[in-house]
Amino acid sequence: MESSVTDLFGLTVFGALESIRLYFPRFIGGLLVLLLGLIVAGLAKRLTLGLLKALRVGKFLVSIKVVKEENEIRVWEVIVSELIRWSLTILFLVPTVEAWGLPKVTDLLNQMLLYLPNVFVAVIVGLIGVVVANLTYDVVKQGAKGFGSNIDKTLAMVARYAIVFFTVLVILNQLGVASDLVRILFTGMVAMLALAGGLAFGLGGQESARDILKELKRKLDK
Protein backbone atom coordinates (compact mmCIF):
# COMPACT_ATOMS: atom_id res chain seq x y z
CA MET A 1 0.00 0.00 0.00
CA GLU A 2 2.77 2.40 0.96
CA SER A 3 4.69 1.59 -2.21
CA SER A 4 1.64 2.32 -4.38
CA VAL A 5 1.12 5.68 -2.67
CA THR A 6 4.79 6.49 -3.13
CA ASP A 7 4.63 5.55 -6.80
CA LEU A 8 1.54 7.71 -7.28
CA PHE A 9 3.23 10.65 -5.57
CA GLY A 10 6.31 10.16 -7.71
CA LEU A 11 4.25 10.10 -10.90
CA THR A 12 2.45 13.29 -9.83
CA VAL A 13 5.71 15.11 -9.12
CA PHE A 14 7.23 13.83 -12.36
CA GLY A 15 4.18 14.99 -14.32
CA ALA A 16 4.32 18.43 -12.74
CA LEU A 17 8.03 18.78 -13.47
CA GLU A 18 7.49 17.62 -17.03
CA SER A 19 4.72 20.19 -17.50
CA ILE A 20 7.01 22.91 -16.15
CA ARG A 21 9.80 21.77 -18.47
CA LEU A 22 7.51 21.91 -21.49
CA TYR A 23 5.98 25.26 -20.50
CA PHE A 24 9.25 27.00 -19.59
CA PRO A 25 10.39 27.64 -23.20
CA ARG A 26 6.97 29.13 -24.02
CA PHE A 27 7.19 31.37 -20.96
CA ILE A 28 10.70 32.55 -21.87
CA GLY A 29 9.67 33.14 -25.50
CA GLY A 30 6.64 35.19 -24.47
CA LEU A 31 8.75 37.15 -21.99
CA LEU A 32 11.29 38.00 -24.69
CA VAL A 33 8.52 39.18 -27.02
CA LEU A 34 7.12 41.36 -24.24
CA LEU A 35 10.53 42.90 -23.48
CA LEU A 36 11.05 43.58 -27.19
CA GLY A 37 7.62 45.20 -27.36
CA LEU A 38 8.36 47.47 -24.39
CA ILE A 39 11.63 48.58 -26.00
CA VAL A 40 9.98 49.24 -29.37
CA ALA A 41 7.07 51.08 -27.73
CA GLY A 42 9.44 53.29 -25.75
CA LEU A 43 11.44 54.15 -28.86
CA ALA A 44 8.23 54.88 -30.79
CA LYS A 45 7.12 57.29 -28.08
CA ARG A 46 10.42 59.18 -28.21
CA LEU A 47 10.38 59.31 -32.00
CA THR A 48 6.81 60.62 -32.00
CA LEU A 49 7.62 63.35 -29.51
CA GLY A 50 10.74 64.27 -31.49
CA LEU A 51 8.79 64.39 -34.75
CA LEU A 52 6.00 66.53 -33.29
CA LYS A 53 8.59 68.85 -31.75
CA ALA A 54 10.42 69.13 -35.07
CA LEU A 55 7.18 70.02 -36.87
CA ARG A 56 6.68 72.90 -34.39
CA VAL A 57 2.93 72.58 -34.47
CA GLY A 58 2.60 74.40 -31.16
CA LYS A 59 4.70 77.38 -32.25
CA PHE A 60 2.74 77.61 -35.51
CA LEU A 61 -0.60 77.67 -33.69
CA VAL A 62 0.73 80.27 -31.24
CA SER A 63 2.03 82.41 -34.13
CA ILE A 64 -1.41 82.52 -35.77
CA LYS A 65 -2.94 83.16 -32.31
CA VAL A 66 -5.12 80.06 -32.35
CA VAL A 67 -3.73 79.03 -28.95
CA LYS A 68 -2.22 81.30 -26.35
CA GLU A 69 0.54 79.05 -25.01
CA GLU A 70 2.60 76.32 -26.60
CA ASN A 71 2.13 74.15 -23.50
CA GLU A 72 -1.52 73.63 -24.49
CA ILE A 73 -0.37 71.73 -27.57
CA ARG A 74 2.41 69.86 -25.74
CA VAL A 75 -0.22 68.17 -23.60
CA TRP A 76 -1.84 66.76 -26.75
CA GLU A 77 1.55 65.73 -28.12
CA VAL A 78 2.20 63.72 -24.94
CA ILE A 79 -1.24 62.12 -25.20
CA VAL A 80 -0.64 61.08 -28.83
CA SER A 81 2.80 59.66 -28.04
CA GLU A 82 1.41 57.72 -25.06
CA LEU A 83 -1.36 56.29 -27.23
CA ILE A 84 1.22 55.09 -29.76
CA ARG A 85 3.32 53.57 -26.99
CA TRP A 86 0.41 51.68 -25.46
CA SER A 87 -0.86 50.57 -28.86
CA LEU A 88 2.47 48.94 -29.64
CA THR A 89 2.67 47.49 -26.13
CA ILE A 90 -0.75 45.85 -26.51
CA LEU A 91 0.21 44.69 -30.01
CA PHE A 92 3.21 42.81 -28.60
CA LEU A 93 1.19 41.58 -25.62
CA VAL A 94 -1.08 39.57 -27.92
CA PRO A 95 1.58 37.05 -29.04
CA THR A 96 2.97 37.08 -25.50
CA VAL A 97 -0.25 35.89 -23.85
CA GLU A 98 -0.82 33.46 -26.73
CA ALA A 99 2.57 31.91 -25.98
CA TRP A 100 1.63 31.74 -22.32
CA GLY A 101 -1.64 29.99 -23.17
CA LEU A 102 -4.10 32.65 -21.97
CA PRO A 103 -6.89 32.73 -24.61
CA LYS A 104 -9.26 34.90 -22.55
CA VAL A 105 -6.62 37.59 -22.15
CA THR A 106 -5.88 37.36 -25.88
CA ASP A 107 -9.53 38.05 -26.72
CA LEU A 108 -9.55 41.03 -24.35
CA LEU A 109 -6.39 42.49 -25.91
CA ASN A 110 -7.80 42.05 -29.42
CA GLN A 111 -10.90 43.98 -28.38
CA MET A 112 -8.67 46.74 -27.00
CA LEU A 113 -6.77 46.91 -30.29
CA LEU A 114 -10.04 47.29 -32.18
CA TYR A 115 -11.09 50.07 -29.77
CA LEU A 116 -7.87 52.10 -30.02
CA PRO A 117 -8.77 53.82 -33.36
CA ASN A 118 -11.75 55.36 -31.60
CA VAL A 119 -9.40 56.78 -28.99
CA PHE A 120 -7.13 58.26 -31.68
CA VAL A 121 -10.11 59.90 -33.38
CA ALA A 122 -11.36 61.23 -30.03
CA VAL A 123 -7.96 62.81 -29.32
CA ILE A 124 -7.91 64.48 -32.75
CA VAL A 125 -11.47 65.75 -32.25
CA GLY A 126 -10.50 67.11 -28.83
CA LEU A 127 -7.48 68.96 -30.25
CA ILE A 128 -9.57 70.44 -33.08
CA GLY A 129 -12.28 71.43 -30.59
CA VAL A 130 -9.79 73.28 -28.37
CA VAL A 131 -8.31 75.12 -31.36
CA VAL A 132 -11.75 76.08 -32.71
CA ALA A 133 -12.92 77.17 -29.24
CA ASN A 134 -9.92 79.48 -28.81
CA LEU A 135 -10.33 80.85 -32.33
CA THR A 136 -14.05 81.46 -31.76
CA TYR A 137 -13.27 83.25 -28.49
CA ASP A 138 -10.97 85.72 -30.25
CA VAL A 139 -13.37 86.25 -33.18
CA VAL A 140 -16.42 86.86 -30.96
CA LYS A 141 -14.45 89.13 -28.63
CA GLN A 142 -13.20 91.25 -31.51
CA GLY A 143 -16.62 91.34 -33.18
CA ALA A 144 -18.46 92.34 -29.99
CA LYS A 145 -16.13 95.14 -28.92
CA GLY A 146 -18.78 97.73 -29.70
CA PHE A 147 -21.06 96.34 -26.98
CA GLY A 148 -18.58 97.07 -24.19
CA SER A 149 -15.72 95.25 -22.47
CA ASN A 150 -17.89 93.14 -20.15
CA ILE A 151 -20.37 92.08 -22.81
CA ASP A 152 -17.76 91.08 -25.40
CA LYS A 153 -15.90 88.94 -22.85
CA THR A 154 -19.12 87.30 -21.73
CA LEU A 155 -20.21 86.51 -25.28
CA ALA A 156 -16.73 85.19 -26.11
CA MET A 157 -16.70 82.94 -23.03
CA VAL A 158 -20.18 81.62 -23.82
CA ALA A 159 -19.13 80.82 -27.40
CA ARG A 160 -15.93 79.09 -26.24
CA TYR A 161 -17.59 76.89 -23.61
CA ALA A 162 -20.44 76.03 -25.97
CA ILE A 163 -17.91 74.64 -28.46
CA VAL A 164 -16.02 72.85 -25.67
CA PHE A 165 -19.30 71.33 -24.47
CA PHE A 166 -20.23 70.05 -27.93
CA THR A 167 -16.66 68.78 -28.40
CA VAL A 168 -16.93 66.76 -25.19
CA LEU A 169 -20.24 65.30 -26.41
CA VAL A 170 -18.66 64.30 -29.72
CA ILE A 171 -15.70 62.70 -27.90
CA LEU A 172 -17.98 60.72 -25.59
CA ASN A 173 -20.06 59.58 -28.55
CA GLN A 174 -16.90 58.51 -30.41
CA LEU A 175 -15.72 56.54 -27.39
CA GLY A 176 -19.14 54.93 -27.06
CA VAL A 177 -19.58 56.21 -23.50
CA ALA A 178 -23.25 56.54 -22.57
CA SER A 179 -24.41 57.18 -26.14
CA ASP A 180 -28.05 57.59 -25.08
CA LEU A 181 -27.07 60.14 -22.43
CA VAL A 182 -24.99 62.06 -24.97
CA ARG A 183 -27.94 62.26 -27.37
CA ILE A 184 -30.21 63.48 -24.55
CA LEU A 185 -27.70 66.14 -23.50
CA PHE A 186 -27.21 67.27 -27.10
CA THR A 187 -30.98 67.54 -27.67
CA GLY A 188 -31.42 69.38 -24.38
CA MET A 189 -28.62 71.82 -25.19
CA VAL A 190 -30.06 72.62 -28.63
CA ALA A 191 -33.54 73.06 -27.15
CA MET A 192 -32.18 75.33 -24.41
CA LEU A 193 -30.33 77.52 -26.93
CA ALA A 194 -33.41 77.71 -29.17
CA LEU A 195 -35.64 78.64 -26.20
CA ALA A 196 -33.15 81.21 -24.92
CA GLY A 197 -32.82 82.73 -28.38
CA GLY A 198 -36.59 82.83 -28.84
CA LEU A 199 -37.15 84.48 -25.47
CA ALA A 200 -34.39 87.01 -26.08
CA PHE A 201 -35.73 87.85 -29.52
CA GLY A 202 -39.32 87.99 -28.26
CA LEU A 203 -38.58 90.18 -25.26
CA GLY A 204 -36.25 92.41 -27.21
CA GLY A 205 -38.57 92.77 -30.20
CA GLN A 206 -41.92 93.10 -28.47
CA GLU A 207 -41.98 96.88 -28.96
CA SER A 208 -41.36 96.49 -32.68
CA ALA A 209 -44.04 93.80 -32.87
CA ARG A 210 -46.49 96.10 -31.04
CA ASP A 211 -45.79 98.93 -33.49
CA ILE A 212 -46.33 96.60 -36.46
CA LEU A 213 -49.64 95.37 -35.05
CA LYS A 214 -50.78 98.93 -34.37
CA GLU A 215 -49.93 99.98 -37.91
CA LEU A 216 -51.76 96.95 -39.29
CA LYS A 217 -54.84 97.70 -37.16
CA ARG A 218 -54.80 101.35 -38.24
CA LYS A 219 -54.79 100.33 -41.91
CA LEU A 220 -57.62 97.87 -41.35
CA ASP A 221 -59.73 100.52 -39.63
CA LYS A 222 -59.38 102.77 -42.63
Residue 90 identity? I
Number of other residues whose CB lies within 10 A of the CB of residue 143: 13
Q: How far apart are CA 35 and CA 88, in angstroms?
A: 12
Which of residues 151 and 35 earns the better pLDDT score? Answer: 35
0.85 exceeded by the pTM?
A: no
* 37 in Cβ contact with 96 (< 8 Å): yes
Using an 8 Å Cβ cutoff, are 49 and 81 in contact? yes
Burial bucket for residue 216 (CB in 10 Å: 0-12, 13-18, 19+): exposed
In eight-state DSSP terms, residue 102 is -
Return d(Cα 44, Cα 46) in angstroms, integer: 5
Question: Using CA atoms, how far apart are residues 34 and 95, in angstroms rounded to an integer?
Answer: 9
Picking from 167, 182, 101, 110, the residue whose alpha carbon sits closest to that of residue 136 is 167
Whole-angstrom distance, CA of residue 216 vs CA of residue 211:
9
Tens-digit pLDDT profile for residues 8-29:
555 566 666 666 777 788 888 8
- Contacts within 8 Å (CB) and 24+ apart, 159-165: 159/133, 160/133, 160/134, 160/136, 161/133, 162/193, 163/129, 163/132, 163/133, 163/136, 164/129, 164/130, 164/133, 165/189
41 or 176, greater pLDDT: 41
Q: Which of 24-38, 40-54, 145-159, 196-210 has the lowest mean pLDDT?
A: 196-210
Give the tens place of pLDDT for each residue, 195-221.
554 544 454 555 555 655 566 566 556
